[in-house]
Amino acid sequence: MPIVVRPHPESSSEYDLEHVTGQCRFKACLSLGLEEIPAFVFPMSDEEAIQRSWLENEARGDLTYSDRAYWTERIFKQYSGDGHTAQEALEMAADYLGVTTQTVMRYYRLVALPEGLKEMVDQGILPSGAAGEIVRNTYDGAQVEESQQAMTERASWFLGLDRDAREHGIKSLQDLG
């Protein structure tokens, strides 16, 4: 299956084309030493490129929580940067992604996690619900470094609980906020 590219949106770029879908196929072709890679070239806006890439990845079903958080943030910021209120941007992102506004908020919270905790969520070590509550009750955008340290400490506390106590741990985190 050919990859999908578009003319690069920045005329000053050293590249003529930009990947939209098929990054893994592209890398595989390079590793095989292929000099020509099958591709479809379509002119498209940034919004169309984001949507096409999201839809392909979502259809494959292999998006991690951190991938979903990344895409949610990117799409939400696109709408909030267009002069919409935060609530409007939230609703537009939910419509765009085909999910509820609660799902958008749940994924968006994960953006603030330190990378190590994102990896733990992706690997199923730290439940996404617990991670979301940790962010909701700990993150302070004015003190990012301190917040990330506090999130790491709360995650360590949570992971130290036995399975039965974790449900109460999530409840405790919810009660904090």
The number of domains in the chain is 1
Q: How many CB atoms lie within 10 A of CB 107?
A: 24
Examine the pLDDT at 177 and tell me if it is beyond 70: no
Bridge partners of 39, per DSSP, are 3
The answer to whether the beta carbons of residues 123 and 102 sit under 8 Å apart is: no
* 133 found inside a domain: no
Examine the pLDDT at 97 and tell me if it is beyond 80: yes
* 75 found inside a domain: no
* 31 found inside a domain: yes
Domain hosting residue 18, numbered range: 1-62
Q: How many CB atoms lie within 10 A of CB 29?
A: 17
* CATH (domain of 19): 3.90.1530.30
Would strands 17-21 and 3-7 be described as parallel, antiparallel, or unpaired? antiparallel
Tens digit of each residue's pLDDT (9 = 90 or more) over 68-88: 898 889 888 888 877 889 999
* 54 found inside a domain: yes
* 40 found inside a domain: yes
Q: Two tokens at 122?
A: 């992706």
Question: How far apart (Å, rounded) are the C-alpha atoms in residues 82 and 98?
Answer: 20
* 132 found inside a domain: no
Tens digit of each residue's pLDDT (9 = 90 or more) over 16-66: 999 898 888 888 988 999 989 999 999 998 888 888 887 787 777 778 899
pTM over 0.85: no
How far is it between the farthest Cα atoms of the chain?
Answer: 58
